[in-house]
Amino acid sequence: MFALRYQQGRLGVAEVPEPEAAGEALVRVRLSGVCNTDLEIARGYAGFEGTVGHEFVGVVERAPGAPELEGRRVVGEINAGCGRCELCLAGDSRHCAGRTVLGIVGRDGAHAEFLRLPASNLLAVPDSVPDERAVFCEPLAAACGITERVAVPAGARVAVVGDGKLGLLCAQALVVLTGAGVTLVGRHEGKMEVARRRGVETLKADELPRSAARSFDVAVEASGSPDGFRTALSLLKPRGTLVLKSTFHGRTELDAAPVVVDEISIVGSRCGRLRPALELLERGAVDVESLVHEEYPLSEGVRALERAAAPGVLKVLLKP
């Protein structure tokens, strides 16, 4: 099969053996989505080598122990745990010390013709959800995962900093799931319009009014930049909560003084569970179609990642 791989400092499409399922499900990929994490891996983030990609929708070819999934369209939880530790036995492998992560840690990913995952990681996609929506399930789950880490009451004020793919999904998900007043802080009028159509207020990052400073209960940093981190921190009320969503290859300097003086809580938020996201997609509660910028064949995977890194581009999809 063909796969988009990062090896020895180079990104390229290579012909490789079809993955050995070894008791896991074998999934034929129908569509995969390029994520900022893919771009960071191509810059050396996490030291990963292999097939990149973790956002996908596909069809199950084989599923030992779960024949009901065979022939079904599925999406998949990207963390595969050891199955023996306390976390795995409790049904949540996201922090299993021995886990592999699809296209990120120790497991070949989704920008390929086939991938493998434990059958227990897979969720059947309703017939009413087309591939172009289903492929957003994993990043939307990451957005929904904020509510696992932070209690956001209906009357709260929430700022989401960053109007890229992740920021737009976070803002929309928080409006639907919490009923809080959500404001997206961004730099691109066209992108912010997507959020406005879904009931999200917007502010230009370089035109923030003085009244915005220290006025939000929760700030979500989804820009992946040091400037975004500083902006998010400046928006928080005393005893507010800063949620960090972005991962990137680099360092962010932290001025600890305002964190200590204002007693700010800093919370990391990584992967969410897929089922709540799949339900939002089935309901049409979140606009993901407006985020699709372009689609490329897998054979043009390198070009697709280059395009995804260009300013102003939102979601780029790959089709085997």
Secondary structure percentages of the chain, helix, strand, coil, to 5: 30, 30, 40
Closest CA to 24 of 58, 51, 54, 60: 60
Q: Which residues pair with 51 in a beta bridge?
A: 5
Q: What is the pLDDT of residue 131?
A: 98
Dihedrals phi, psi of 318, to nearest 5 degrees: -120, 135
Is 224 within 8 Å of 36 (Cβ atoms)?
yes
| Assessment of whether the complete model's pTM goes beyond 0.85 | yes
Is residue 51 within 8 A of residue 112, CB to CB? The reply is yes
Domain extent listing, the chain: 2-141+272-319, 146-268
Contact 157, 217 (CB under 8 A): yes
Contact between residue 313 and residue 295 where contact means Cβ atoms under 8 Å apart: no
Q: What residues have CB less than 8 Å from 107, skipping those under 6 apart?
A: 50, 80, 100, 101
Q: Strand pairing partners for 265? A: 241
Q: Is 80 exceeded by the pLDDT of residue 151?
A: yes
Look at residue 85 and give its three-state secondary structure. Answer: coil
CA distance 19 to 112: 10
Among residues 123, 108, 35, the alpha carbon closest in space to that of 74 is found at 123
Edge-first strand order for the sheet with 181-186 is: 201-204, 181-186, 157-161, 216-221, 236-244, 265-268
Question: pLDDT by residue (tens digit) across 56-105?
Answer: 999 999 999 999 999 999 999 999 999 999 999 999 999 999 999 999 99
CATH superfamily name and code, 146-268 = NAD(P)-binding Rossmann-like Domain (3.40.50.720)
Q: Which helix (H) or strand (E) segment is 96 a member of?
A: none
pLDDT digits over 173-231, tens only?
A: 999 999 999 999 999 999 999 999 999 999 999 999 999 999 999 999 999 888 899 99
Residues forming beta bridges with residue 76, ordered by sequence position: 122
Give CATH for domain 2-141+272-319: 3.90.180.10
